[in-house]
Structure 1
Amino acid sequence: MEVLRKRMSLRRLPQLFDKILDQSIVSIQTMLSRPILNKDRCASMASRCSKTITQYKFDMMAMTIPIAQDTARDHTQLADDAKNKLRLLDGCLDDHRMQLVESREKEGFPSLKRILYELQSKKIPRKLGIRARRERKVVRSIIKILRQRPDITVRRTDKSKVFYVASLLKKGAINHEQHKNMSPKTDALELAHLHFIPKPHKPDTPLRPIVAAIHAPATEVSKFLNDLLAPVFLRVARKATFINGIDLVRALEKYVTDGQLKPTTLFITFDVENLYTMIPRQGALEALMQFLERHLRNKKIGILRIDDIMRMARLVLDTNIFAYENKYYRQIRGGAMGSAFTQTLANIYMLDWEQKLIQDQEADKEIYGRYIDDVFMTTNSTFDQVKEKLENAHRKDPNIRISYSIQSTIDFLDVTVSNDNGQLKTTIFHKPAAEPYILPYTSDHPRHVYHNIPYAALLRAGRICSNVEDFDIERIRIDLSLLLNEYPPSFVSKHFHRFFQLNQAMPVLERLDSEVYHEIHQNLLHTPTRKEKQLEETTEDLDALPEMLQKKKPWDSNVMYAKYNFESGPRLAFQSEFRTWWKQHFGHAGSSVEHVQLKFAVKTNHTLEDILVHKKPPRHMLKRKPNTTEQRTANQDNPLTRKLKTT
């Protein structure tokens, strides 16, 4: 079995296995090579064929490994039984500065300079150098091809009117520091631009429009409104909102405990089409006004009145201006995909639309939950009754169009939910087009990043999978995915054992103990995730200002952060070298900064996406042009201009 896993990590399957598969697609390759076929269609079919073969190999290996493991478990169990029989027989810094007094402290920074120079100038290992040259050659060849092929688009796959802020400052609703945080930075100001992200998991690969507005004039106001209103919405609609797939599994298991799951129970999902871009501007603002009047304490949040919030909301919607293909556009319907406030506004608009469905589900003791534009429901009504209810909802608002599915086994978020003759079964859902990709082990990232990946994947599986057999299948899938992404088998085994040991679940790994797994599943499922803890904190005090407007915490003089760019090779030793240097020159016993804790802030290098994906229009289309007065002032301040005038 370990030999098989090693083959997976090296991507060398048994020759007989590869030979059978290669022979099975000879006829397909022959047909695809015929010149009569359209080139684009031929390339698409060849890609589908390649993915199908890859997935088939993956599935076959996923079947082979559990069979081998089950055989090993049976032999282990026989050995344990024999041993038990034998045993039975046998048993009948204050101001953030310091003075350099001692000689070793004075020598500290020259010493650090030497360390950095040595790490930077030291020759990298031969293997790493070969790999770097090979990857550079590949990237340059890809860039060359892309320049010659304007028909190829590279994208990462999916899934200045600010004057009102000044009036809030004059009214005392915000202070000068808060005003500064909300105002756009004029030197970094940029117009938004439109680009598209392909969705390869859907038929015909549709595109998702994204308005990139990170430096747009109203971006900070949009973030402010989102931080202000999202906690209010979540508090109001928490019972009808799913935060993630784990939230769904909790609701379903409670549904079973309450005795609501019957052999005839059906599951419903529906998707709201183009929610962000289809909500009407005026209708959304009216829904926002009604929501604020109904749910705000004293008709304000903190010292911000409803009128202040509404004027800022109009400002964000009115300044959705972006560049696309050398032209400028203003969005007049819906909100920008990429604006923080758009999601909250869409949620509030949907809340009014879904009230009838929520009330009907609560009356029947059924589940209703929404995650942005995806909805999950349970029902014990007949198929025709459910269909009629959904058709009525579809006709309620011409701006909201839904497409629904009613089945006993259904996929929602990352969970597959099944009603197996009155027995609930939940497993992790994998999209058909999804490939077994995990951050490659050879990628240039700090080591602790890789240590967390196996544990986090098993933690997710333990929370979602309802029985031990499905959990074991998912464990094998994670194992294969890690091996295919060049994680060493010993590394994978070590961190898998770490998960089972920390959660006291070794019987699950050794003999698939269903009772132990059920207990672990319940413990993991009902332990709040980090995101859930953060959301709970934000909804506790709704009168508090958003984080971006809160006063910054004072700098902790007991912690020092060392920032550096992470790289494989000689720089891997930077942290240990820096710690040694710090202890030798400053952090030694008796020093005034002996108590200071050292932490490292790591920045990674550019990715292939940074190099290959170019989404932004030309710089001159996005940057703010100075007016005549500003240009004249800039010229007067320019020494070269003054010199020319004098001449």
Structure 2
Amino acid sequence: MDRCDIKRSILGVSWPSGQGHRVQAVAFDQQARFYLLPKIHKPNNPGRPIVSGNGSPTERISEFVDSFLKPLVCRIPSFIKDTKDFLHKLDEVKHQIPDSAILVTFDVSSLHFLQVQGTAMGTKMAPSYANLFMSQLEDRLLSSAPNRPLVWWRFIDDIFPIWGGDQDSLDEFINHINSFHPTIKFTTEQSLTSVNFLDVTITKSLNGLVTDVYSKPTDTHQYLLSNSCHPSHCKKAIAYSQALRIRRICSTDTLYKRRSSELRKHLVSRGHSEPCCSMQQHAAVTSGTKMMLEKLLGNADMDEVPSLTPRQGYGNSHVISVDVRLLPDMVERALARTHTVS
């Protein structure tokens, strides 16, 4: 890409080949707008500063810069893309955590807005810039620490470490990271039993780490009303998608049933039909369990899975079409075989 190509990408200009230059200009008719989003879940309700660059002169150049930064972010060792990625990482270590481990969460104070330093939320390149800045900072921070955590994963400015040492060594580590940078400071929550990270509650148990859905105290579950003018498939999708999310996060059937029951009550209070909600939840669980089983069994054909009730298949094998009611039990057996092998 030469200098002219870069300028055209930034300015949104189209110059086709041929006679003369026909310019398709992007109108920047407004300045960036500054406003605050109150954090009602925190004491004294501090404001989250936003500088919205939509339609401003810096919108295109921010998008251009982000196109180069974003591919680098996913290569950061501590990078967490979303809840699904976090659960996948947690699943790999949940049986390796010592009983004495301390569960910790760190939150970076004022990462996006530091008066004359840093970047404000509201421009496209801000999350990538913040991620790369934190990656460089944490590399130096961890390499110089007297003790390191067993796990250090980060979603932009929210960090999930697991500490394998004692309380004194953790306090020493917290003092170290809070004195490392002149403006970047960390607030912390820690527990020997349970912490909340993203929309997940992580709890230590005899069988490793257990995960459950976490909702902030300010969450009033104001789902779309059933008499909304939205298309019917949008309203049905609420129960389906939320059931998928609950099934993904809840690591035990007991927790899943409890959260599913709560979801139905919330939806019914918004005017949705309980039978319809139950049907969509059942469809979501069947779909999620099927995908899980395909993964565990090496993407085998779900219409032909070994079973105790045979019909004649290829050669001497006996196969049947899967009854969806058998899927949860089959997944448990597959998981048990996986744990035995590992």
Shift of residue 459 of structure 1? 1.1
Q: Does 1:267 align with 2:52?
A: no
- The letter of the residue matching 1:435 is T
User: Where does structure 1 lack aligned partners over 5 or more consecutive residues?
Assistant: 1-167, 279-330, 523-647
Shift of residue 334 of structure 1? 2.4
| CA-to-aligned-CA distance 1:203-228 (integer Å, 9 cap, x gap) | 22222121122011011100111122
- The letter of the residue matching 1:248 is F
Tell me the residue number matched to 2:310.
none
Question: Are the counterparts in 1 of residues 28 and 55 from structure 2 also a CA contact under 8 Å?
Answer: yes
Distance 1:276 1:412 in 2: 19
Question: Are the counterparts in 1 of residues 149 and 161 from structure 2 also a CA contact under 8 Å?
Answer: no
Tell me the residue number matched to 2:221.
436
Normalising by structure 1, we get a TM-score of 0.42
Shift of residue 504 of structure 1? 5.8
* 1:358-507 correspondence to structure 2 within 5 Å: 358=142, 366-408=150-192, 409-421=194-206, 423-503=208-288
Q: Does 1:241 align with 2:79?
A: yes
Tell me the residue number matched to 1:276.
112
Q: Does 1:251 align with 2:83?
A: no
Q: Does 1:180 align with 2:16?
A: no
CA pair 178-360 structure 1, distance change in 2 beyond 3 A: closer
CA pair 521-487 structure 1, distance change in 2 beyond 3 A: farther
Question: Are the counterparts in 2 of residues 213 and 339 from structure 1 also a CA contact under 8 Å?
Answer: yes
Distance 1:515 1:385 in 2: 43
For the residue of structure 1 that corresponds to 2:94, the secondary structure is: helix
CA pair 520-231 structure 1, distance change in 2 beyond 3 A: farther
Shift of residue 520 of structure 1? 9.4
CA pair 518-277 structure 1, distance change in 2 beyond 3 A: farther
CA pair 256-186 structure 1, distance change in 2 beyond 3 A: closer
CA pair 185-176 structure 1, distance change in 2 beyond 3 A: closer
CA pair 401-177 structure 1, distance change in 2 beyond 3 A: closer
Query: Which of 30, 39, 45 pairs up with 1:199?
Result: 39
| CA-to-aligned-CA distance 1:566-617 (integer Å, 9 cap, x gap) | xxxxxxxxxxxxxxxxxxxxxxxxxxxxxxxxxxxxxxxxxxxxxxxxxxxx
Larger radius of gyration between Structure 1 and Structure 2: 1
Tell me the residue number matched to 1:221.
61
- The letter of the residue matching 2:97 is L
Distance 1:271 1:492 in 2: 36
| CA-to-aligned-CA distance 1:524-572 (integer Å, 9 cap, x gap) | xxxxxxxxxxxxxxxxxxxxxxxxxxxxxxxxxxxxxxxxxxxxxxxxx
Normalising by structure 2, we get a TM-score of 0.76
Distance 2:91 2:142 in 1: 19
Shift of residue 493 of structure 1? 2.4
| CA-to-aligned-CA distance 1:607-639 (integer Å, 9 cap, x gap) | xxxxxxxxxxxxxxxxxxxxxxxxxxxxxxxxx
Question: Are the counterparts in 1 of residues 243 and 260 from structure 2 also a CA contact under 8 Å?
Answer: yes
Question: Are the counterparts in 2 of residues 265 and 419 from structure 1 also a CA contact under 8 Å?
Answer: no
Distance 1:438 1:253 in 2: 30
For the residue of structure 1 that corresponds to 2:260, the secondary structure is: helix
CA pair 388-425 structure 1, distance change in 2 beyond 3 A: same
Shift of residue 373 of structure 1? 0.8
- The letter of the residue matching 1:394 is N
Question: Are the counterparts in 2 of residues 262 and 422 from structure 1 also a CA contact under 8 Å?
Answer: no
Return the structure number with greater strand share.
2
Question: Are the counterparts in 2 of residues 264 and 421 from structure 1 also a CA contact under 8 Å?
Answer: no
Shift of residue 338 of structure 1? 0.3
Distance 1:266 1:401 in 2: 20
CA pair 376-360 structure 1, distance change in 2 beyond 3 A: farther
Shift of residue 474 of structure 1? 1.0
CA pair 382-230 structure 1, distance change in 2 beyond 3 A: same
Distance 2:335 2:249 in 1: 8
Distance 2:27 2:105 in 1: 47
Shift of residue 461 of structure 1? 1.2
CA pair 380-270 structure 1, distance change in 2 beyond 3 A: same
Q: Cα RMSD over matched residues?
A: 3.2
Shift of residue 275 of structure 1? 0.2
Return the structure number with greater helix share.
1
Question: Are the counterparts in 2 of residues 358 and 368 from structure 1 also a CA contact under 8 Å?
Answer: no
- The letter of the residue matching 1:271 is D
Shift of residue 451 of structure 1? 2.4
Distance 1:184 1:373 in 2: 39
Question: Are the counterparts in 1 of residues 13 and 26 from structure 2 also a CA contact under 8 Å?
Answer: no
Tell me the residue number matched to 1:340.
124
CA pair 246-487 structure 1, distance change in 2 beyond 3 A: same
CA pair 516-384 structure 1, distance change in 2 beyond 3 A: farther
Distance 2:225 2:69 in 1: 39
Question: Are the counterparts in 2 of residues 441 and 486 from structure 1 also a CA contact under 8 Å?
Answer: yes
CA pair 476-440 structure 1, distance change in 2 beyond 3 A: same
Shift of residue 429 of structure 1? 0.6
Shift of residue 356 of structure 1? 4.2
Q: Does 1:189 align with 2:21?
A: no
Residues paired across the two proteins, number: 294
Q: Which aligned runs of 4 or more in structure 1 are off by greater than 3 angstroms?
A: 171-179, 181-188, 356-361, 500-505, 513-522
CA pair 432-181 structure 1, distance change in 2 beyond 3 A: farther
* 1:312-323 correspondence to structure 2 within 5 Å: none
- The letter of the residue matching 2:91 is E
Distance 2:236 2:100 in 1: 44
CA pair 429-224 structure 1, distance change in 2 beyond 3 A: same
Q: Percent identity?
A: 24
For the residue of structure 2 that corresponds to 1:277, the secondary structure is: coil
User: Where does structure 2 lack aligned partners over 5 or more consecutive residues?
Assistant: 15-22, 291-323, 337-342
| CA-to-aligned-CA distance 1:426-485 (integer Å, 9 cap, x gap) | 101111121122122222212221222111111111111111100111111111111111
